[in-house]
Structure 1
Amino acid sequence: MSSAPSPSCYPSDLGSWVRYFQLVEIPVLPHTAAVLEELRQMQDDVDARMLADELMSDPLMTLKVLAYTATVQRHRRNNDAETLREALVLTGITPFFATFGPQPTVDMHLEGQPEALAGLQAVLDRADRASRFALAFALHRRDHDAAVIYLAALLHDFAEMLLWLNAPTLALQMKLQQQADRTLRSSTVQRQCLHVTLGEVQQALMQTWHLPELLVHITDDRKENDPQVRNVLLAVRLARHTSLGWDNPAVPDDVSDIARLLTMAPEATLNWLKELDG
């Protein structure tokens, strides 16, 4: 079980937050940990495609693998593994299992902290829906980087996941502040509580871990005029606004923006999005 430090012990600037998250052990979803142990027993029959298919729905495990591969292999030329499968091919199946032993789970990590676990689960659910929306948008646009766009949406909020895991007191404080004031922007409350935004922390971590340039670029919301970035951003926005249903007042604007991106009529876009979410 992880014991959370008091708020006064948390970092107070960008560099400190990056170092803080670099030092923590990242737990994975219970299903991922169980599947890894099953595959470990039959690893001679496992290939990169099979392993990626089992792991790619878990943003935390995906992040661990990409960060490990990019950091360890960064001295090689042409080693920018842009997808989980490519990272596993680069690492090799036997070295992968040797490196990634039995994994700690989020349930174990947040044992006795149900509010933090629920907060984390909400972000994980949103990431799952966002990645599916983003992939559908990319395929509709015939984007040749659809697999990376899926990954970018899956990992878009990984800093928030790390916050729930390793600074749950602050994460809960931020959530309660926004619940009390629906007009409070996420960036505002993050600066109040963390002295930095999670987007800034995330971009810095991705650079520090030497994650693929395309992935870093597509997850950078500041470049929202780029069609690939906008593809991811709109998918994340829609997943956030529809997390409790499709009656959120922000949804019509999301649908309008998505229709413009996909060059579809708004009504047809809304029907299509609801089918995707079915």
Structure 2
Amino acid sequence: MVDQPFEAMDAWIEYFGTVDMPILRQTARRLEEARQSIDRVNGREIAAIVLQDPLLAIKVLAYIQRFQGKRLHSDITTIANAVMMLGVEPFFAHFEAPTTIETLLKDEPQALLGVLHVIRRVQRASRYAHDWAFERHDMNIEEVELAALLHDLAEILLWCFAPQLAIEIRRRQQADPTLRSAAAQVEVLGIRLFDLQLALCDAWHLPELLKTLMDDANAGLARVRNVVLAVNLARHSANDWNNPALPDDFEAIEKLLHVDRPTLLARLNVPDEAAAQYLAPRHRPPRGDDQG
């Protein structure tokens, strides 16, 4: 575990390159159940399990990149293709007996709650991203879904391996609601988590396409906008449907999907009581956001 921030980005990269990436206990249980039926399970079913767990997803992607230039003739940008490339039996052989997040953080209850909160949020974002990519007839839905799942990877890693630093960032933001995420990260870590994430993508030789899809700066591209809006909506609705940033989210999603407000709220299953305020004429609460 890291108790004090490293002085340089390279030290963070080196550290995360040596850790054993944990996965969710539920994921480990589902993998073991699938392994017990190895003669019947297929790659698509395995991919469905992996796509619920951001840390297992990044483990699979990072591992498959080792074959670049050997067996791979093009980038592997989806979990389904990675599993197909590895084969079912080799997949289980390599990823058996994983460490779980719950075991890793058994003595850090605040951090465990913190990381599970982030993981639930990115799971939700990935579902939004998948559904909208399907509706947009995206050329490869899983790429968009995967990018949303991995969008906050560095934050998840921080909660797992530097829990006290993650707790301190959260404490500062709770003490000062105007403090943006990126500013709090720089205060505590000396770096932005987004910059760390891009550096990790480079170090692990992840496909350029996934890096593009995870980078909010590319939001001019419809596929990236799909990811960004899914991540924002999941973040802003994490606690309830009353976040003042939601009207702007809804407006942008309506433009992306070419739907009206009632249709969108119905698709998102926004409760009637909360939906009513967003259907009122000229509804515009003060703009607020927790993102840096």
Query: TM-score, with normalisation over the residues of structure 1?
Result: 0.92
CA contact (8 A) 2:47 2:80 kept: yes
Q: 2:142 matched to which residue of 1?
A: 147
5+ unaligned residues in a row in structure 2: which ranges? 272-292
Q: 1:57 matched to which residue of 2?
A: 52
What whole-Å deviation, never above 9, does each CA across 1:7-30 have from its counterpart, x for those lacking one?
Answer: 2xx312222211111111111111
Q: 1:192 matched to which residue of 2?
A: 187
Q: Which runs of 4+ in 1 moved over 4 A?
A: none
Q: Structure 1 counterpart of 2:3, which letter?
A: S
Larger helix percent: 1
In the alignment, is residue 101 of structure 1 matched against residue 96 of structure 2?
A: yes
Q: 1:125 matched to which residue of 2?
A: 120
Counterparts of 1:1-278 in structure 2 under 5 Å?
4-7=1-4, 10-274=5-269
Q: Structure 1 counterpart of 2:144, which letter?
A: I
SS, match of residue 119 in structure 1: helix
Q: Structure 2 counterpart of 1:11, which letter?
A: F
Which whole-Å CA distance do the structure 1 matches of 2:258 and 2:267 have between them?
Answer: 13
What whole-Å deviation, never above 9, does each CA across 1:93-152 have from its counterpart, x for those lacking one?
Answer: 222122122111111000111100000011001011101111122122111121110111
Quote the RMSD (CA, aligned, Å). Answer: 1.7
Deviation at 1:272, TM superposition (A): 2.5
Which whole-Å CA distance do the structure 1 matches of 2:198 and 2:3 have between them?
Answer: 26
CA contact (8 A) 1:11 1:20 kept: no
SS, match of residue 44 in structure 1: coil
What whole-Å deviation, never above 9, does each CA across 1:50-74 have from its counterpart, x for those lacking one?
Answer: 2112222111111111111112345
Identical amino acids, percent of aligned pairs = 42
Which whole-Å CA distance do the structure 1 matches of 2:263 and 2:14 have between them?
Answer: 46
Which whole-Å CA distance do the structure 2 matches of 1:245 and 1:238 have between them?
Answer: 11
Which whole-Å CA distance do the structure 2 matches of 1:25 and 1:115 have between them?
Answer: 21
CA contact (8 A) 1:40 1:97 kept: yes
Which whole-Å CA distance do the structure 2 matches of 1:77 and 1:106 have between them?
Answer: 31
Q: Structure 1 counterpart of 2:148, which letter?
A: A
Which whole-Å CA distance do the structure 1 matches of 2:74 and 2:88 have between them?
Answer: 17
